[in-house]
Amino acid sequence: MSNRKAYVLIQAEIGQAESVVQALRNIPGVDSADLVVGPHDVIAVLQGTDADAIAKMVVTGIQAVKGVHRTITYMVIVQ
């Protein structure tokens, strides 16, 4: 199977953005997680075997992190 990539934009609870980044960096499949300025607080880059694997990472991994308020996922369709 081909490797899929996705960008996840994350809104964190007030005061929680840095701890969210640290937690995300420990989740398998999260290539990077960075604090950003703008309407979102964190942008994470995910790699997975397919779209289902990435969706599971978002739901069971990222959204389960304490301090994550909302996520928006952008799946890369052409690399």
List pLDDT tens digits, range 5-57.
999 999 999 999 999 999 999 999 999 999 999 999 999 999 999 999 999 99
Look at phi and psi of residue 15 and say left if phi exceeds 0, alpha if psi is from -120 to 50, else beta: left
Question: Are 5 and 74 a contacting pair, CB within 8 Å?
Answer: no
| Predicted local confidence at residue 1, as pLDDT | 44
Report the distance separating Cα 37 and Cα 2, nearest Å: 32
- Architecture per CATH, domain 4-75, reads as 2-Layer Sandwich (3.30)
pTM for the predicted model, two decimal places:
0.93
